Structure 1
């Protein structure tokens, strides 16, 4: 530990952090290039070549030119996922609640005397299967 001072350790960790953040940003930009449906195939190829051949300049120019729309696409994707999740939950909960409602109606009919216990059991078995 004597031959590697604490300040050098700090600088090494800082450079490692910046290196990891750089790759995260590069992957985020490449992902956004392919996710953008408003770009043509040639435009996507051009941005991709620009970002890969001149990575620092390419990513910086991409963020300056398309950073705002990049954020809007992220928000739109999150909203679409939330809507799909909400629809799935409503669909799954709706199926269970309709069976429960039907059982409640059958129970009310049985309690009023409109159907017999045997009819209630048959309808209940049919409903639960």
Structure 2
């Protein structure tokens, strides 16, 4: 699904479809981008309220997956410092999901695809000096 230059996170059509299916089973969902360790660096999908975010988490954005509510995506502040110049896209591929992420039993797993922010995006997010006169 296409996003705008103002968004730090997007979702592919295939991942959005799986999120819709999972939300019918589990209710409203959210993502937290894992920082590594046991979960690798996978985006973890949880029912809202199962994973508690706090002041050390950054809201990257909300995904429009075709539901009444948008699906929020979070990352820890310390990890965000490494990723702040990057746009993330949540995708899905065949394989076993990580940890407690709800897609585990489906035979699919969420993953992150990334690219560097464009010059316009860097300016919008206050990460590059203004190039205008």
Q: Same fold (TM over 0.5)?
A: no
Q: TM-score, normalization: structure 2?
A: 0.20
Structure of greater relative contact order (alpha carbons < 8 Å, 6+ residues apart) = 2
More strand by share: 2
Q: TM-score, normalization: structure 1?
A: 0.20
Rg larger for? 1
More helix by share: 1
